[in-house]
Structure 1
Amino acid sequence: MKADYQDLVDEISALLGAPATLENRDFGLIAFGAHDSDDDTAMDPVRTRSILTRKSTPAVRAWFEGFGITRATGPVRIPAAPDAGVLRDRICLPVRHRGVVLGYVWLLDADPGPSAGRLTAAMEVAERIGALLADEERADADLSRELRAVLTAEGGWQYDMAVAALRTALGRDAEGLHALLCVAPWPGPGTPSVRTAPGVAALCTVPWPARTARDPHPRGTGAGGAGAEAGGAGAGAGGPGAPRAGAAAATAGRAPAGPGAADRGLAGPGAAPPGGAAHGLAALVRLRSAEAPAPALTAATRLRDAAGGGAPSGAPPTAVWAAGGAGAVPGAGHPAGTVVGVADPRRGVGDLAQAWREAASAARAALAQPRLGPVAPWASIGPYRLLTALPPAPPHDRAVRALLAPAHTELARTAEVFLDNAGQAGRTAAALGIHRQTLYYRLSRVENLTGLDLDDGEDRLLLHMALKTARM
């Protein structure tokens, strides 16, 4: 498709004797003609910026749109505007299809300029460009419908038919290696173009909290060791010799708690993302290798930016993927807003139901526990692989119901940090910024409220799971 646009732009350049530039209706660069003139004035700052950055400034856009190019059906001559950086006169050829403007072809104007006959011929080429752009937009929309059908199918024959339709729509891409992304929350039901991020084969919006297809071939949680990891977290918290609430015992020899531990609050997003957003975005991204996830992580960053989530902070997402664990992220978290869950890579599209479950679960985990995001590969979320498989709003266990009341938020936070730090009093007190005796007092209150024994491994596991589940 790119070569088709380039050929047509070169054809216009040859017709009018000047290098042409093709942009979409949002002033994003699509193709440009070669500049082979010795005249330096043939390249002004606007054309240079468009080619180098693939976009125009708001001031330039406002100047051009002020001459009615969005409504024009024929060539529009636009004078220079040095204050906006437009140092040369322009000719704009609107690119339309069935009355809808889809882009613009730009040329620098000079006396005497191209004849009316040549401009008419150039507009005929622009119409062919419009047909190509319209076909591409239709293809994007069709793929959105096909991908959405797969992700929302009930399973069985409905799922199989939706997968077959998506496979047909993707063509040769269908059997390639992909990673499925879940961007949540997404602002509204509109689906962006696949050109928003490199490597994206299909995009669609879905209801959020995510409603996923039943996996026609259930295989558990999908990532080896998830059960052991979750169990290990609980067992470690309740190991023999851990300090009992109120005791003056101290433990040593372990690394201090990671940064940000003291900032972990218990108030999670509940069943829906902050702000009550009702949509997520699914993105199917092409990969060359399962060991080279850069295209998926780049697409995640671009789509998060498009949703207004801002740039990721903390460790690079590649470090999280490579390590395969949440501990790889040195924990300052990320700004409130959009997160991206990334499923394990898969070849073909037959297993998208499980991939979507992974991506949506990773996004839920990152919304509940900011240190996991803002880009959260499935492999990095640890015990949240099991927690996110629980029902959306499980009833709180009666032993912890009182502790989860708003009046005891600080006690709940203290208990969670204590269990996160494997029951080590010194690390917990340092993470919370309190004296050990204050910690022991709070833990004794936790025991009184819950009736649980924090020296008992199973009681610790129950409390830890209940606190983490409350985030979901």
Structure 2
Amino acid sequence: MQAWLDALAAAIERSVSVDDSDGRLIAYSSRHADADPVRVAAILSRQVAPEVRRWQDLHGIATATSPVRVPANEELGMGARVCVPIRDGGRTLGHLWLLDPGQTLDGRALALAEETARELAAAWHEDPDAMVRRLLTTGQGWNRTAPRLVQVCVVLPGSGRPERNAIGGFVTDTHAAYLLRQPADGMPEEEGVTRGYSETTGPEAAPEAYRQALTAAHLAAADPALPRHVSWAGLGPYLMLLGAADDPLAALDGEQAHTLETYLDLGGNAQRTAAALHLHRTTLYYRLGRIGDALGADLDDGMTRLHLHLALKKRRLDSGFPE
């Protein structure tokens, strides 16, 4: 609910909140610029005051099926509001409140609020973990007010500690999967626990992000050359083998690519590479330093070398063959 309310508040530029049919405050947006004393009191007590509820009930919110404008009440310290009922069939589950001190909310804002109220009604009794499972496995069940960027983390085995910033998650026989608010906040390493992280993406691409995180976690568990916490982008040569990598050599010119390929073909032997390229070793080291800087890569790292070597050979393969 918090994510939905913050998204709605940002879209309509008003504070919003949700209370249940008994007046208990359930959630509220982080926007407070237009807060009045009644809103502040409700946030502090987590309850709508009885005298405020009586004023609201006078305007028919208990039986409303569409937005209701509740006028200001100076005696209560209450500005004007709009109440959007959250209904399930013929039953009112709660109320979505929009602060509107200037009474300027237009039809577009009310339509967004009604759509959010329908989404809240659909999810009112749903376990967020069940929602996340459905989203990651089927791509269904999320809505337009979800965080714009999310990330998936897969933990092997599933007994590892859950992510601190998880929206929700679920555990299978082999792993745990969590949907995170982007970005991941860097969990400390645990003995015997591996974590794989997807790229950040929109919720609509969550099943692909789940696949990325699962692949990253399994590869990190299988290959000791990879870190125990690895992102999809950090899989290096495996991305090339999976056919999922962009060209990591795009920053190099032709001479630099030739120098790097010769160096890697000769096993990183500087003396043999300098001789093959007719260079002084000092010149070779200078070129290799410039290449490493251009790529943002450590050429002394074995996995990095393998990734770049594969990319160089893929370039040759992609250039085609004469007829």
TM-score for the superposition, normalised by structure 2: 0.37
TM-score for the superposition, normalised by structure 1: 0.26
